Amino acid sequence: MSQTEQLISEAKRVLKENDLGGYTVPTKGLYPFQWNWDAGITALGWLHIDEKRAWAEFETLFKGQWENGMVPHVVFHQDSDDYFPGPDQWGVVGNPPSTSISQPPLLATMVRMIYEQSQDKDLAQAKLDALLPGLIRYHLWWYRERDPESTGLVSSYHPWESGMDNSPAWDDILERVPQATRSYQRRDLSHVDSNQRPVKAEYDRYVYLVDFFKDKKFDYQTIHDECPFHTKDVSLNSVLQRATKDLIHLNSLATEPVNLDEIIRGANKADVQIQALWDAERHQFLNKDYAENAPIPVKTSAGFMPLYGHSATPEQASIMAEEIKLWLEKGPKGLASTYPGEAVFDAKRYWRGPSWLHINWMIADGLSYYGHHDVAALLQQASRSIIEQSGYWEYFDPETGEGCGGSNFSWTAAIALHWLV
Ligand code: GLC
C-alpha cells in the first residue's frame, strides 16, 4: 500500500469507528456526543465514503434544533458518563437534550460543498430542499437573538461557542466571570494529559456560565444584557458571514426559494462591521470585548478567518498572506492557534498554540479565494506532513508536529479525506 492509500484507509477507519449510527462522535471517550461544527466538517469526510451517510450527519444534528431556531453546540443523543457537563447539567428539556449555546455556524457552507461535489444529484436536491428551512431558521436566530441591537456582529456568551475554548483572546474577559462554587468532576482529564487541556480556573468559569444561562431561563435579552462573558468573536462572525452567503446561494438552487431579505440585510451589515475589526499594526483582524467596546490585542488564528468569510479586502488578504508565511516560519507544522511570538503561546495546550487541521483548511480555502494559492499550498503541505508524521490527532504541536489531545479524531480524518489525500 502506498502512503496515500494507507492514509485514506486509516481516515475511513476513524470515521467508521466513531460512527454511532447517523452521527459521528469527535472521538470516543473524550467527546461522546454530536458536536455542531464537528458534524459539518465530518460530513465532508463522509462525502468521500458514502453520500447518504454525509447527509444523515446534518439530519441527525438538526433533531436537536430548538424551536427558536438555535442549533446547539452539543446534541446528547445518548447519555454517557465520559463527559462533563453532560445532559443533566444544562437544564435543557428536549428530545434529544442538548446544551444551551451554539458553535461557529458553518453548516450551510458544508451543505453547499456537499451539494456541489456529490455524485447523486437527485439525492442532493432532495436533501437540500429538506435541510434549507432549518438552516434558514438557524441563521435568523443568530441575527435576531444574538444581535438584538442590530450592530452587524453577533454576540457569543461562552468560550465554548467560539469553538476555540481556551484561546488567550478570552483570558481578560473570563477573569470577570465568577468561578462556580459547586463541586463537580471533570472527565476530560481522565482521557488527556492535563498540560494539553484548560486549567481549573477556566473550567470553574465555564461551569459558572452553564449555570448562569439556566438561571436566566435562556432568555436572550437578559443574557445579552447581563452575561459577564460577552464577545464579538471575529472567527464566529466570519464563519456566519461565509455561511450566510452560501445559504443565499443554496436558496437560489432550492425547488421553492423563499424571501431572505432579513438575512441579506444582516450579511450586508456584517461585512462593514468585520472591516472595523482590522488591526493594521498586527496584520490581522481582532476579536472584540463587548463590555469595554474594545479590540482584544492578542494574535490568534481567529484573526485570519475573514479570509474564509470573504470579508477582507484584497489588500488585507495580501497582508495576511505575508503574515501567515511569518507564522509558518516560527511554527512550520500548520498554522499555530496563537502566534508563537506571543508570551502566552503554549505549544501543546489546546487553543493556546497547537495547529488544528480544520482551521488550516478553512484559512487555506480563504487564501485561495483571494488568489494566494502559494500560501494556501504551504498550509496544505504542512497539514499533510503532520498527518504523515503523527496520524489523526485532535491538534498538533505547531513546532514539532507531535499529535496532542484525543487520538482517532473525526474532523482531522475528514479534512484529510477531503483536502489532503
Ligand atoms: C473542543 C473544541 C471544539 C470542538 C469540540 C469537539 O471543545 O475546542 O472546537 O468542537 O472539542 O471536538
Going by C-alpha positions, the residue among 259, 362, 374 that lies closest to residue 310 is 362
What pLDDT, on a 0 to 100 scale, did the predictor assign at position 268? 93
DSSP state of 301: G
Going by C-alpha positions, the residue among 74, 20, 24 that lies closest to residue 46 is 24
The β-bridge relationship of strands 288-289 and 231-232 is antiparallel
Ligand 1 atom index nearest CA of 38: 10
Q: Which domains are seen in the chain, by residue range?
A: 3-420 (1.50.10.10)
Any atom of ligand 1 within 6 Å of the Cβ of 26: yes
* Contact present, 114 and 54 (Cβ < 8 Å): yes
Instruction: Tell me if residue 281 is catalytic.
Output: no
| Residue owning the nearest CA to atom 12 of ligand 1 | 26
What pLDDT, on a 0 to 100 scale, did the predictor assign at position 243? 98
Q: Would you say the C-alpha torsion 39, 44, 50, 52 has a positive or negative sign?
A: positive
pLDDT in tens, 287-334: 999 999 999 999 999 999 999 999 999 999 999 999 999 999 999 999
Q: What is the dihedral of CA 16, 19, 24, 26, to 10 degrees?
A: -70
Angle between helices 51-62 and 121-145 (to 10 degrees): 30
pLDDT in tens, 141-169: 999 999 999 999 999 999 999 999 999 99
Tell me the best of 57, 160, 395 to mutate to test the pocket of ligand 1, counting ligand atoms within 8 Å of each CB and taking the most.
Answer: 160
Any atom of ligand 1 within 6 Å of the Cβ of 406: no
DSSP state of 402: -
What pLDDT, on a 0 to 100 scale, did the predictor assign at position 276? 97
CA of 415 to the centre of ligand 1 (A): 15
DSSP state of 168: G
Ligand 1 atom index nearest CA of 165: 8
Name beta bridge partners: 231: 156, 289
Any atom of ligand 1 within 6 Å of the Cβ of 405: no
* Contact present, 288 and 232 (Cβ < 8 Å): yes
Q: Tens-of-pLDDT digits for all 421 residues of the chain?
A: 999 999 999 999 999 999 999 999 999 999 999 999 999 999 999 999 999 999 999 999 999 999 999 999 999 999 999 999 999 999 999 999 999 999 999 999 999 999 999 999 999 999 999 999 999 999 999 999 999 999 999 999 999 999 999 999 999 999 999 999 999 999 999 999 999 999 999 999 999 999 999 999 999 999 999 999 999 999 999 999 999 999 999 999 999 999 999 999 999 999 999 999 999 999 999 999 999 999 999 999 999 999 999 999 999 999 999 999 999 999 999 999 999 999 999 999 999 999 999 999 999 999 999 999 999 999 999 999 999 999 999 999 999 999 999 999 999 999 999 999 9
Tell me the best of 30, 33, 37, 38 to mutate to test the pocket of ligand 1, counting ligand atoms within 8 Å of each CB and taking the most.
Answer: 38
Q: Which strands, in side-by-side order, build the sheet including 231-232?
A: 231-232, 288-289, 294-295
* Contact present, 188 and 32 (Cβ < 8 Å): no
Per-residue cell: 94:
428536549
